[in-house]
């Protein structure tokens, strides 16, 4: 695919996206961003192709053998046969679904950033512009992924993955510049900090819920201090996906939430005593014990559900010491 076709493809994506979301972004800036995405994506694809060319023939031969034996399929075939894969693609391309998807995206932004919107105290015009740019930032990542896929780049390839991540960062940095122009550089910094501390805020939200029905609920100031403390003591994200929060169902017990990469360390507990009450620190200590249990449970799940009784004995020991509520 030549550069002209890439640019046309990107422009079509953003034109549709902007029509759906009603963004009032200046077209000249959008065109500059899209042209940059197209140019950089083509260059990244060319570099990736040259790096992979030496092993392509061997890989195709291996894929052919695996396919004939029924043990493996080409990535496109795998994607097409994934449960709901075709339905999801058709939904994303459906004009009828477009306003519904736009509504869902707007709703997610409202839910995710509502506390930030309150803290920023923007004018109605600034707030509307900010929301539009948040939508654009999400779509910029999607557009890069779409063009990269068309260029044959693969997220499973380490070189391609690094190139794609760089392209996404560059594209989103352009949107951040627009956010700074719309709401100010100081508020841009607040927004960026809010995004970067999402895992920590998820942990603090759990603490808030546990203390909400007690005589010592967390105040807003305490919550903010705890978020900052956890952020200071959180290790940098690794290549496996960084700090994550997810949930899964344990039979009839409902969803179990696990936070990864945001450890409640002894240092956190010690520092938290300067602004939390003893009862509040106890709730945090209980979550520390649960994190250890969660990590052990994850190891057991990765090992097929097996495991010894070491964790249970440790857990019982912790709870018997009165570390619980």
Q: How far does Cα 114 stand from its chain's mean position?
A: 17
**What pLDDT was estimated at residue 23?**
39
Please give the residue that has the higher pLDDT: either 15 or 104: 104
Please say if the pLDDT value at position 92 is more than 90: no
Within 8 A by CB and 6+ apart from 323, the residues are 282, 285, 286, 289
pLDDT in tens, 1-54: 444 444 444 444 544 444 444 434 444 555 555 565 665 566 655 655 555 555
User: In the predicted model, what is the mean pLDDT of the chain?
Assistant: 74
Report the percent of the chain where pLDDT is more than 90: 39
CB crowding 4-25: b at 16 or more within 10 Å, else e: eebbebbbebbeebbebbebeb
Q: What's the mean pLDDT in 202-228?
A: 95
Q: What's the whole-model pTM score?
A: 0.62
Q: Residue 199 is encoded by which pair of tokens?
A: 């895992």
Which is nearest to 170 in space by CA: 51, 41, 46? Answer: 41
pLDDT in tens, 116-165: 999 999 999 999 999 999 999 988 888 888 888 888 888 888 888 888 88
Q: What's the mean pLDDT in 220-236?
A: 94
Please give the residue that has the higher pLDDT: either 287 or 94: 287
């Amino acid at each position: 695919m030549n550069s002209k076709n890439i640019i046309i493809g990107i422009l079509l994506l953003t034109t549709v996206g902007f029509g759906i979301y009603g963004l009032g972004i200046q077209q000249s800036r959008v065109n500059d961003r899209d042209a940059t995405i197209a140019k950089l994506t083509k260059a990244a694809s060319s570099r990736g192709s040259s790096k992979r060319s030496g092993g392509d023939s061997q890989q195709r031969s291996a894929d052919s053998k695996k396919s004939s034996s029924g043990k493996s399929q080409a990535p496109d075939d795998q994607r097409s046969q994934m449960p709901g894969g075709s339905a999801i693609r058709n939904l994303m391309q459906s004009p009828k679904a477009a306003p519904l998807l736009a509504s869902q995206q707007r709703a997610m932004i409202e839910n995710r950033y509502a506390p930030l919107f309150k803290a920023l105290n923007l004018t109605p015009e600034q707030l509307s512009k900010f929301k539009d740019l948040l939508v654009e930032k999400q779509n910029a990542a999607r557009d890069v992924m779409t063009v990269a896929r068309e260029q044959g780049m693969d997220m499973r390839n380490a070189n391609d993955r690094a190139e794609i991540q760089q392209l996404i960062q560059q594209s989103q940095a352009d949107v951040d510049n627009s956010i700074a122009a719309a709401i100010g550089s100081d508020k841009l910094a607040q927004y960026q900090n809010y995004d970067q501390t999402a895992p920590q805020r998820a942990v603090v939200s759990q603490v808030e819920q546990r203390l909400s029905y007690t005589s010592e609920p967390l105040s807003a100031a305490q919550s903010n201090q705890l978020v900052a403390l956890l952020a200071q003591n959180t290790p940098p994200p690794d290549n496996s996906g960084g700090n994550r929060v997810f949930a899964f169902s344990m039979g009839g017990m409902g969803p179990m939430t696990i936070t990864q990469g945001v450890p409640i360390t002894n240092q956190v507990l010690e520092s938290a005593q300067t602004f939390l009450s003893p009862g509040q620190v106890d709730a945090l200590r209980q979550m520390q014990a649960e994190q250890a249990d969660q990590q052990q449970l994850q190891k057991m799940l990765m090992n097929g559900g097996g495991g010894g009784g070491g964790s249970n004995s440790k857990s019982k020991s912790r709870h018997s010491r009165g570390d619980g509520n």
